Chains A and B, each alone.
Chain A
Amino acid sequence: MNTMTLYVEKDSPVHRLDPLVKLLYVVASIALTYILPEPLFIAGVLFVTLLLLVIGKVFRNSLPILTLSMFLIFSLVIVQGFFHPDNVTELFSIGPLVFYEEGLYVALVLVLRVLVMIGSFSVLILTTSPDEMVERLIKKGMSPRIGHVILSVLQLIPQMRATTSKITDAQRSRGMETEGSMLTRIKAFFPLMGPVVLNSLNETKERSIALEMRGFGSSTKKTFLNEEKQYPYNKLLAGIIIGIVILGIVWRVMA
Chain B
Amino acid sequence: MNNNKKSMWSLKLSTAAIVLIPAAIGINYIGKLFASLLRLPLWLDSIGTVLAAMLAGPVIGAAAGVINNLIYGITVSPVSTIYAITSGAIGITVGVMAYKGWIANVKKATIVGLVTGLVAAIISTPLNMIFWGGQTGNIWGDAFYTFLISNDVPQWLASFGDSIVVDVPDKVVTVLISYFIFKGLPKSLTNIYRQDSEIEEL
Complex contacts, B115 vs chain A, CB 8 Å? none
Among residues of B, the one whose C-beta sits closest to the C-beta of A168 is: B37
Complex contacts, A104 vs chain B, CB 8 Å? none
Among residues of B, the one whose C-beta sits closest to the C-beta of A72 is: B137
Q: Is B1 in contact with chain A by the CB < 8 A criterion?
A: no
Task: Tell me the complex Cα distance, A106–B135, Å.
Answer: 13
Q: Is B123 in contact with chain A by the CB < 8 A criterion?
A: no
Looking at chain A's contact residues, the main secondary structure is helix
Q: Is A124 in contact with chain B by the CB < 8 A criterion?
A: yes
Q: In the complex, are the beta carbons of A202 and B180 less than 8 A apart?
A: no
Complex contacts, B135 vs chain A, CB 8 Å? 72, 75-76, 79
Q: Is A125 in contact with chain B by the CB < 8 A criterion?
A: yes
Interface residues of B in 156-192 (CB under 8 A from A): 177, 180-181, 184-185, 189, 192
Q: List 8 A-B contacts (CB under 8 A).
A: A68-B77, A124-B74, A145-B18, A153-B26, A157-B26, A182-B40, A193-B181, A196-B30
Among residues of A, the one whose C-beta sits closest to the C-beta of B192 is: A205
Q: How far is the CB of B75 from chain A (nearest CB, A)?
A: 5
Q: In the complex, are the beta carbons of A149 and B180 less than 8 A apart?
A: no
Complex contacts, B30 vs chain A, CB 8 Å? 160-161, 164, 193, 196
Q: In the complex, are the beta carbons of B77 and A69 less than 8 A apart?
A: yes
Among residues of B, the one whose C-beta sits closest to the C-beta of A109 is: B133
Q: In the complex, are the beta carbons of B38 and A189 less than 8 A apart?
A: yes
Stretch at the interface among B2-10, B86-94, B105-113, B142-150: B142-150
Tell me the count of chain A residues lying within 8 A, CB to CB, of chain B. Answer: 67
Tell me the count of chain B residues lying within 8 A, CB to CB, of chain A. Answer: 57
Q: In the complex, are the beta carbons of A80 and B71 less than 8 A apart?
A: no
A118-B78, A157-B26, A193-B47 are known contacts. Are A211 and B33 too (CB-CB below 8 A)?
A: no
What number of residue pairs across chains A and B have CB atoms under 8 A from each other? 167
Complex contacts, B22 vs chain A, CB 8 Å? 149, 152-153, 156
Q: In the complex, are the beta carbons of A208 and B19 less than 8 A apart?
A: yes
Q: Is B31 in contact with chain A by the CB < 8 A criterion?
A: yes
Q: How far is the CB of B162 from chain A (nearest CB, A)?
A: 10
Task: Mark B47-76 against chain A: 1 for CB-CB distance below 8 A, else 0.
Answer: 100010000000000010001001101111
Task: Tell me the complex Cα distance, A200–B61, Å.
Answer: 16
Complex contacts, B84 vs chain A, CB 8 Å? none
Complex partner residue of B16 from A117, A178, A208, CB under 8 angstroms: A208
Complex contacts, A145 vs chain B, CB 8 Å? 13, 18
**6 smallest A-B Cβ distances: which pairs?**
A121-B78, A72-B137, A208-B16, A185-B38, A200-B23, A208-B15
